[in-house]
Copies of this chain bind each other. A is one copy, B any other.
Amino acid sequence: MRRQNLALVMGEVAASGPVSRARVADATGLTRAAVSSLVEELRTAGLVAERGPAPSGRVGRPGSDLVVDAEGPAGLGLEIGVGHLGACLVDLGGRIRASVRVPADNRRRTPDVVLGQLARIAAELTETAVPHPAGTVVAVPGLVGAAEGQVAHAPNLGWRRVPVADLLRERLPDPLAALPLDVDNEANLGALADLWCGAGAADAVHISAEAGIGAALLVGGAIFRGASGFAGELGHVPVRPDGPPCACGARGCLEQYAGEAAVLRAAGLDAATGDPVTELARRAQRSQPAVLDALDRAGAALGIALAGAVNLIDPAAVVLGGAYAELGTWLLPAMRRELAARVAVRPWHPQTLTLSALGRGGPVLGAAMVTVRRIVGDPGGYAAGRADRSA
């Protein structure tokens, strides 16, 4: 019961802080005495702090307000992209306290080398940071199987059955190596970031497109993972059954029409250097016909595959996230056109399809937020684990 009440108070401070003890008592239905006792425990655990009174203009002793402790535990998000590595540290208030994103040609490197560099990035980012990481989650562009920490398959990296958690932990220095470490699909983490940081719907298909195309299915605010953890493989939904062969072994998969390589080829940008999505956006902005046409065709293919998904899953919202959110101006019209034409058996509104505000920053932010949400949702469990570790 006390553990639940700790979570109630912590949740109120995280959601509404700076907030007075009196307002926490009102919002939670607890007595002021109980709130004071619970706050004391949260302060001792380093989760809640007091902020000196602001001039209130009112008569009487002003009480200091409660805030989450910005120097307390934090969540560390790491990201393995096809063309980059990323890391970000988020404090209990949901603020990004440090972040890094570096280009990295991970397709041409072994998992050993990639994970070695990721470990160094994590160590550097957290070495001098004030809030200390309390847990690490890694976003990967592939299927994460039920066996913990295994990437069952990441075709765009050429990875198969790579034990990401184990390999990374071996390479992390203390104290990072001793922290909880999880691995999840990047689309799943991007969808959770959208949901947690504002605009996302609790029942949504969240598309994360870039080199590969994945999707996360949010059901009731949680990721729907399927029977084996492989749900959301939008990139390999057949768009044209007799279409071009795909790296997965099938034909006519969505990735063959809307994946980065296909779009660059259609736009005549195979040999372009630099960030391909930025390059596509730059040229689309200048109305280059080949680029506009390539993006329109990619949008149509995305719309066809999504029409199947909407007919099957009936989400409340469809969100275009990942790098392609930056191409929304040119992808959305064709996506909406196909969806309107193909989700015809019941009402469908074009505005059900929106752009993620987080774009390609979503997955690594979601990865960091997993730990933050875990602590805020069960501060008593965090405090107990901390006591165990120092015993």
Q: Which residues of A contact B (CB under 8 A)?
A: 143, 145, 152-153, 155, 203, 215, 217, 219, 224-234, 236-241, 246, 248-251, 253, 304-305, 307-309, 311-316, 338, 341-346
Contacts and interface: CB of A to CB of B under 8 A. Distances in A.
B315 A249 contact: no
Given A231-B312, A233-B312, A251-B342, 4 more contacts: A215-B312, A227-B314, A228-B316, A237-B307
A151 B346 CA distance: 11
Contacts of A236: 311, 342-345
Nearest to A305: B308
A312 B227 contact: no
A345 B311 contact: no
Nearest to A312: B309
A377 B246 CA distance: 49
Contacts of A217: 312-313
A346 B249 contact: no
B342 A238 contact: yes
Contact of A250 (B143, B237, B342): B342
B152 A312 contact: no
A99 B33 CA distance: 66
A317 to B, nearest CB: 8
Given A240-B241, A249-B341, A234 B346 contact: no
A227 B221 CA distance: 12
Contacts of A251: 341-342
Contact of A238 (B145, B250, B304, B313): B304
22 contacts: A152-B346, A153-B346, A226-B313, A226-B314, A229-B314, A231-B312, A231-B313, A231-B314, A233-B345, A236-B343, A237-B307, A238-B308, A238-B342, A240-B241, A241-B338, A248-B344, A250-B344, A251-B342, A253-B342, A308-B308, A308-B309, A312-B313
Contacts of A346: 143, 145, 152-153, 228, 230, 233
A341 B308 contact: no
- A contacts with B: majority SS: loop
Nearest to A255: B345
A227 B226 CA distance: 17
A219 B231 CA distance: 12
A237 B241 CA distance: 13
A210 to B, nearest CB: 16
B155 A311 contact: no
Given A342-B238, A345-B153, A346-B153, A228 B314 contact: yes
A250 B153 contact: no
B308 A250 contact: no
B314 A312 contact: no
Contacts of A240: 240-241
A352 B226 CA distance: 14
Contacts of A246: 344
Given A237-B311, A238-B308, A341-B249, A203 B230 contact: no
A31 to B, nearest CB: 30
A312 B238 contact: no
Nearest to A233: B311
A345 B229 CA distance: 13
A313 B153 CA distance: 17
A241 B306 CA distance: 12
A311 B342 contact: no
A236 B310 CA distance: 10
A315 B203 contact: no
A201 to B, nearest CB: 8
